[in-house]
Amino acid sequence: MEIEEDFYSTIKLKNGEEIFAKVSVINEDLKTLLLVLNPVIISEVRRNSNIGYKFDPWIKTSSEDFFILDLNDVLIISESNDELMIKVYNMYISDLKQYSENKKNIKSHGLSKKMGYINNVEDAKNLLENIFKNS
């Protein structure tokens, strides 16, 4: 198995999806695979005369940060040397990792009654309606 040096790339898949990721090419026997790290979907956002980009995770329901693609599923792959795009992508990935870490820390503490009153929706609704009626 031979792994080539990483590079940033836009990948157009045969199913029509377009992703941007840091990519490593893996040559294994007679097969070529792509290891894509933190793949994202980039959407162009226009506001008045300004153009910007919105980044979203490619697979929203997975906590994995890399995926393996068969080169046979790829229509086009284009190496990116756009320094601004790479910088914004890396900032997005860094922010995403920080958010995930903060989320883990919050979950590890759990909920307790010391944090406030824990209630279900129906009971809270009835309580608020009674307060409103009696005021």
CATH of the domain at 109: 2.30.30.100
Whole-model pTM: value is 0.69
Number of separate domains in the chain: 1
pLDDT value of position 135: 73
Please tell me the distance from the alpha carbon of residue 29 to that of residue 114, in angstroms, as a whole number: 59
Q: Each residue of 57-114: pLDDT tens digit?
A: 999 888 888 999 999 999 999 999 999 889 999 999 998 888 777 766 655 556 566 6
pLDDT value of position 118: 62
pLDDT value of position 35: 94
Residue 103: which domain range? 2-133
- For every residue of the chain, DSSP letters joined together read -EEPPPEEEEEEETTS-EEEEEEEEEEETTEEEEEEEEEEEEEEEEETTEEEEEEEESSTT---SEEEEEGGGEEEEEE---HHHHHHHHHHHHHHHHHHHHHHHHHHH---GGGS----HHHHHHHHHHHHHT-
pLDDT value of position 120: 73
Asked whether the predicted pLDDT for residue 24 surpasses 70, the reply is yes
Average pLDDT, integer, range 18-22? 95
Average pLDDT, integer, range 35-64? 89
Give the mean pLDDT of the chain: 85
